[in-house]
Amino acid sequence: MEQLHGVAEVRELVAQWRHAGHTIGLVPTMGNLHDGHLSLMREARRHCDRVVVSIFVNPTQFGPGEDFDAYPRTLDADAARLREAGVEVLFAPTVEAMYPLGANRTWVDVDALGDYLCGADRPGHFRGVATVVSKLFNIVQPDVAVFGEKDFQQLAILRRMAAELLFPIRLIGAPTAREADGLAMSSRNGFLTETERARAPLLQQHLQDARRAVEQGERDYRALEKRIAVSLAEHGFDVDYVTVANATTLAPAAAEDRELVIAAAARLGRPRLIDNLTLSLPAA
């Protein structure tokens, strides 16, 4: 596996692969890799001849008071896992490589989709995500890019961005990788105490409860959201949101919507956990 840090050297290697007729997959990450990340790489390998994994803790998607400085940086351990996974290239750029002119003045901002769910409490977050991913797309120019469905809103925004900016890239959503007890794998799970870790799967269990209620005919989604949020709080979660949303627009779902995402974000001790599930209702 090659470990590259500069934009020009990545472009040169990708050009060689193109000349040889290879297809290219990209898996963008912020590092501190776990088995969920490796599942994304396996998905990329299913579709492409060569796989590039980027590791970049992007400062522009962290807001004031968020954990940019504390975010785990484990490049050596990550590189070892990528070698074992058979990844061809680890692209680990510096901040200066990704933002060569210093403070950014050019942004990619997907209207509306970033206003709901996590975007409501994290203004500017998805603008930072869309901007840095567009840079990675321009650098690597992959045929396929793979993202986890755990970050449902991020995937929806990036799909819209790629379609509207005419990136010739197929975006693939990989199913959320979970621990045996149902907890969605996340780099932030390592911040959970032993007691918190035992309680954390309740987030997914509450989403399953909400889905069953909807499947059984519940259509007062605002009341359902409130019940789930109150129950999570009673179990020690500091709830940011619980929402039943239209899976396309991410706006709060109406009774007539058929494609839904049920999503939640809540702090449990230090880390902020997110999770979601989708469901399709039969035509009325």
Q: Is the pLDDT of residue 283 over 90?
A: no
Question: DSSP character for 117?
Answer: H
Residue with tokens 């059984």: 216
The 10s digit of each residue's pLDDT in 5-27 is 999 999 999 999 999 999 999 99
Which pLDDT does position 14 carry in this prediction? Answer: 97
CA distance 162 to 137: 9
> For residue 227, is pLDDT > 80?
yes
Please state the rounded mean pLDDT for residues 245-272: 96
The residue type at 204 = Q
Task: For residue 34, indicate whether it is catalytic.
Answer: no
pLDDT of residue 117: 93
| Torsion sign across C-alpha atoms 279, 35, 147, 202 | positive
How many whole angstroms separate alpha carbon 278 and alpha carbon 99? 36
* Number of alpha carbons in the 13 Å side-chain half-sphere of residue 65: 4
Q: Residue 67: is its pLDDT beyond 90? A: no
- By the 8 A CB rule, do 60 and 132 touch? yes
Q: What is residue 246's predicted lDDT score, i.e. its pLDDT?
A: 97
- Rounded average pLDDT over 60-66: 88
For residue 215, CA distances in Å to 77, 210, 282 come to 43, 9, 10
Q: Which of 19, 37, 125, 206 is catalytic?
A: 37
Global pTM reads 0.94
Q: What is the pLDDT of residues 104-121, one digit of tens each?
A: 999 999 999 999 999 988
pLDDT at 76: 96
Q: Which of 261, 249, 242 is nearest to 111 (CA)?
A: 249
pLDDT for residue 64 is more than 90? no
Q: Residue 214: is its pLDDT beyond 90?
A: yes
Q: How far is CA 104 from CA 59, 96, 101, 137, 158, in A?
A: 11, 11, 7, 17, 19
Cα gap 37→249, rounded to integer Å: 27
